[in-house]
Structure formats: structure tokens, C-alpha cells
Copies of this chain bind each other. A is one copy, B any other.
């Protein structure tokens, strides 16, 4: 008898009613009574469990009653229709085999565990409903992103993780080295990087954008989807030291064209996850954030608004609201500002930011004060996407690099792109974990990354 997946069994139940099947899975619950008992079995292919009934006729009835939560088992039995109950079927066992037992200190018991406790058991927490749902949604959303771009002919580019250049011209970066830390070779008070693996100083990348731009000047539409790193010591719910980013880059595309793609992408991901993870989304809607599904459906139906940064600040100043941080025409938006704006507008693109607070590669607008940058703010999460039209004019770019002290020598190849037929180019970055938090209502980034890395934490 071939083993069957619970997913198949649920999908085509009618095909299997009154037939004998064989399944393997893990025990989520075992309620042994005097003459019969019930096993809740999860085989990993669906969020919900299926019920297996066992009775005295089984020669190992007593042993089955003692099987612990967490053990893996093999079940043979007949699929019985249970039309009056919540689950459409159960399995009447003809054979139950213990595959692997579980030690007494198994932490994942059928009761409520705190998220902190489960973080300390990150190797086991996806055996709970909440984390099972989170990490299945993460997988489905990742695939949705690939489908969205590949179906439109975007070329997926694996940009390098180890890099000698600093894409953002700021930010704290991790050093990558093979020098012996006990005995770093020093010459005239400085590290002799000639002896290091790459014969120069190298870091973990903070963005793949600059390299993606090079590819956009050959393939027109490209995207990255890979890990990026920040060595920031801040411990917040929204920051991790290692996370995944999606960075599309489009040649012959201006800021407006870019916003169109960003809006379509966000809606595509939401729709795909709602369609393909109904059980999981129902769980988040019931137990994580009431009204989640409504919130997401509304996004699907809305047309994203667009305002300038200046309009945003005027709005905030004229709102009559007392903000903790005073809105400023040359300043960034605080979380409370973002909340006010998304309450008022729904999902909204804020464009044309003051150049002082944005990166060197963003295109200077004709006002000489602002750059063609955009943030997408969404209800509940604030900033979801940041992007810009790139400065394609070499003299302007060089001037900004000088003003912002970005080293030109390392970026000779990036400057080359402007010398060799460089077209208009625009792109944005989506923090993948931000998107998962937005989709699930889960508020701590540590709870949407399989094995999160944060300051003082690289366990597992």
C-alpha cells in the first residue's frame, strides 16, 4: 500500500471514503479511553490535523494509548465519512505503529506556549499551529514573488553577499574575514588586508541594488531575492541582523512606472496567499489579528494614493494632532506620522523626499531640493517599500557622492553604467519579513524568520 499525504486525502476525500490508506505523521494529541481512543495526527502537509480512531480490536491497543505527543507514527486504516462533524472524515485504524518515541521533556505540549518560550525552541516551534502557519505562508509568498516577476519576463539575479563596496553609503556592516582574530596582521597601525582571503577588506552586503542596476542595463527588467545584513545593535520588533530582500530594477522606467509595478506586486502577493493558504489566513484572522482578512481584502480593492513628502508634512502639521515627534519638511516620517497618513489615505506612496535624508544614487528633481524617491506606507505596518528613480547623469551622481563622502574608487563599475548607454532606471526594495508580518499580523520579526539573528543571538 502506497503512503498517502494528508493534503491529498483532504483534497480528494471522496476518492478515498471506505478505502484503506496508509499515512505517516506526528501525534499532536492522544485521548485514550477505556475501549477506544483518538489520535490527532499531523503529517506536515496541512495545518490542521486528522483524527484517527483506534479500539480494543488492535492487539497493541494498550501501547497505543501510551503514545506520547510528539512521537512519529505509521497508521493504516479505513477512511470513514463523518458528514455531521467539522472534519469530513476520520480514519479507523487497523494498524498503528510507533515509529519514533519522544523523550519526557518534549517542550511542545498541547497547551498555550509563550512566543518567547517558542523562540528558545526555534528548532521545534513550527510544530505549533501558529508557527506552522507563519512558515507555510512565508514559503507560499516567496513563490508568489517569483511567479509575479518571472511571468512578466524579469530576470532573477543572484547579487553577491560578500562585497567590498557599501551600497547605502552608510550603515553598520559585518566584516567577513579569514584573518586569525588572535593575531591580525597589522602594518603601521592598520590591518594588512593583503593577507586576507580576498586581499582586501570585505563585508556582508546591505543591498543588491547596485549590482542589480548593472543587470537592468542588459536585461531591462530584473529582480533580486536574497539575504541582506545589518550590524545594527538596536533591539526592536522590526529589525533583524539577517533578513531577505526583494529588489526589482527596471531600465527605461521612471518613478511612476516603478510605483505601478510595486502596487501590482503587493496585490499579487496578497491575493496569492489568500487563495493558497485559506486555513492559515483563517487562523491569523481568528487568533493573531481580528479583521486581518478584511484589511487585506480592502488593499486588493483600493487604488493606492500618491502624495509628495511636502504634502505629507503639511497634512501632519495641519492635522491638529499632537505628535511626539514634530513633523518637519526636511525630516523623515516617524511611525506615528505614517499611521496618521495611512489612516487617512489607506496605502499611500509618498514621493519626492528631501535629498539630505536619502541615498546618493537617487535622482535629483528639478527643484534641486528633493529626489525622485518613494516610500509605500500601508495601514498597520507603515513603510513596506522604499524605492527611487536612479540618478543617470554622471556629473550629478559624482557631486552627490562627494557631498555624502561615498568612496568613488570602489564604485568605478557603478559609475561606468552612466558612461555606457545608461538609460533611465528605477527600482525598489521590499523587506520580505515586513511583508510576512503584514500578511500574518505577527508583530515581531523574530517570529517570521526560521532562525532569527539579532544582537547577541545566533543560536541554532
Interface residues of A (CB under 8 A from B): 3, 5, 7, 24, 26-27, 43-45, 70-72, 99-103, 106, 108, 122-124, 126-127, 132, 135-136, 138-140, 142-143, 146, 150, 153, 155-165, 172, 174-179, 181-182, 184, 186, 189-191, 197-200, 202, 204, 211, 214-221, 226-227, 229, 231, 233, 241-242, 244, 251-252, 392, 413-414, 416-417, 419-424, 449-451, 453, 455-460
B182 touches A191 (CB 8 A): yes
> Are A177 and B178 in contact, with the CB atoms below 8 A?
no
Contact across chains for A102 and B157 when beta carbons are under 8 A apart: no
Q: How many copies of the chain does the oligomer comprise?
A: 2
Q: Find out whether the CB atom of B184 lies under 8 angstroms from the CB atom of A123.
A: no
Hey, which chain B residues are within 8 Å of A159, CB to CB? 450-451
Which of chain B's residues has its CB closest to A155's CB? B139
A221 touches B45 (CB 8 A): yes
A135 to B211, CA, bound (A): 14
B199 close to A456 (CB less than 8 A): yes
Residue pair B242, A161 in contact (C-beta under 8 Å): yes
Sample (5) of A-B pairs whose CB atoms are under 8 Å apart: A99-B423, A136-B155, A143-B150, A162-B204, A174-B178
**Closest residue of chain B to A182, judged by CB?**
B191
Cβ-defined contact, A451 with B160, below 8 A: yes
A123-B413, A211-B450, A413-B460 known; A422+B455 contact, CB < 8 A = no
- Judge whether A178 and B244 touch: CB under 8 Å: no
Query: What distance in Å separates the Cβ of A215 from its nearest Cβ neighbour in chain B?
Result: 6
Q: Are A178 and B218 in contact (CB under 8 A)?
A: no
Q: Is the CB of B421 within 8 A of A70?
A: yes
Taking a contact as CB atoms under 8 Å apart, the answer to whether A160 and B460 are in contact is yes
Docked complex Cα distance between A110 and B219 (Å): 18
Q: State whether A458 and B164 are in contact (beta carbons under 8 Å apart), knowing that A70-B420, A156-B143, A219-B126 are contacts in the complex.
A: yes
A100 touches B423 (CB 8 A): yes
* Chain B residues, CB < 8 A from A450: 157-160, 211, 215
* CB pair A182 B174 closer than 8 Å: no
* Contact assessment for A174 and B174 in the assembled complex, using a CB-CB cutoff below 8 Å: no
**Smallest CB gap from A416: residue in B:** B123
The CA of A117 and the CA of B135, in the complex, are separated in Å by 44
With A24-B423, A174-B177 in contact, is A44–B220 under 8 Å at CB?
A: yes
**Closest approach, in angstroms, between the C-beta of A388 and any C-beta of chain B?**
18
